[in-house]
Amino acid sequence: MSQAPATSQAMSGTTACILRLHLLSKRFGSQQAAVQGITLNVRRGETIAVIGPSGAGKTTLFRMLNLSLPPTSGSIIFAGSPVASLGPKQLRAVRRRIGSIYQQHHLVGRLRVLHNVLSGRLGRWPTWRALLSLVYPLDLGDAAAALRAVGLADKLYERTDHLSGGQQQRVALARVLLQDADLILADEPVASVDPQLADEIVELLVTLGREAGKTLIVSLHHVGLALRYFSRVLGLRDGEITFDCRPDEVTPLMLAELYGGDRVFGGRSRQADHASAAPAMPLPTTCLHFQPPATAT
Ligand SMILES: Nc1ncnc2c1ncn2[C@@H]1O[C@H](COP(=O)(O)OP(=O)(O)OP(=O)(O)O)[C@@H](O)[C@H]1O
Ligand SMILES: [Mg+2]
């Protein structure tokens, strides 16, 4: 693992690549590695969709990216700083700059929407301020603005578990907006909502993310959404990147190879689902596949 010291220039976050992965791997026990030697550069402001079959290693990759799961080998370099070399204080600072949206929202159902949204600020507040905010909501105006942005202006004081699944996912999106993270990670954020709502939420996520200059990495089972809304698409299979290119470079053949057609769910192959979700694509031109680590930061 790289042990280069964190420099002040690196910590200032002025580098063009917000994230660099170098030979990143994760193995659970004696199993085959869930993520195998991924090398990847992510530029600021990119919107990246990660697609791949069940068990491909998407969640494992996301858990390493949000620094909740240590890699077995390889390095993660965030804004120029190898995270393995950071002390606890610097690590906390990096964690604040990474926001996560989960499939299961991770909201507290009994709290009002307002409090769940404000919890996006918790990482920046001392404990006394966080506790105080439960009684006297702080940054109310910011929370209201974030809820307006996701179309829930009228739900500020509603109990969170009184909202629908799609509305709760919007609350999770408002929370991450309030956190004001540089990098937003979303692992299957729309897996539990219907297709139309999934489309609306992904569009909202990408639109708001772009407007705010955020870098987005989102895993999706719906290939059509990945190709429609993102600037870059990564195919992940058996823990390895099989392609890394623009959506207009993704071909049905690449998708067929990615999903393999060997997994059948409820009588339908997933490949069929994904192929039908993808718009017709031209035959392959160039595809970047994965890039070697850049020397420039
Ligand atoms: N905590 C764990 N302990 C042991 N094995 C694990 C653990 N987490 C993941 N794995 C294994 O790692 C591999 C990748 O799993 P992962 O959850 O990352 O896949 P995924 O692409 O997110 O799949 P899905 O699309 O179904 O969510 C699988 O073989 C899984 O069984
Ligand atoms: Mg997963």
Dump pLDDT digits (tens) for 59-100. 999 999 999 999 999 999 999 999 999 999 999 999 989 988
Grade residue 276 by pLDDT with cuts at 50, 70 and 90: very low
Grade residue 141 by pLDDT with cuts at 50, 70 and 90: confident
In a domain, 283, yes or no: no
Which is the closest atom of ligand 1 to the Cα of 29? 4
Phi and psi of 25, rounded to 5°?
-135, 150
Q: Where are the beta strands (DSSP E) in the chain?
A: 17-26, 35-43, 47-51, 73-78, 81-82, 98-102, 183-187, 215-219, 232-237, 240-245, 264-265, 268-269
In a domain, 291, yes or no: no
In a domain, 43, yes or no: no
Question: Domains in the chain: how many in total?
Answer: 1
Residue whose Cα lies nearest atom 3 of ligand 1: it is 28
In a domain, 169, yes or no: yes
Provide the residue range defining the domain that includes 111. 105-180
Ligand 1 cavity residues, CB under 6 Å? 28, 31, 34, 52, 54-60
What are residue 243's DSSP bridge partners? 235
In a domain, 116, yes or no: yes
Look up the pTM and report it: 0.81
CB-proximal residues (5 Å) to ion ligand 2: 58-59
Q: Is the pLDDT of residue 225 over 70?
A: yes
Q: Which residue has the higher pLDDT, 212 or 39?
A: 39
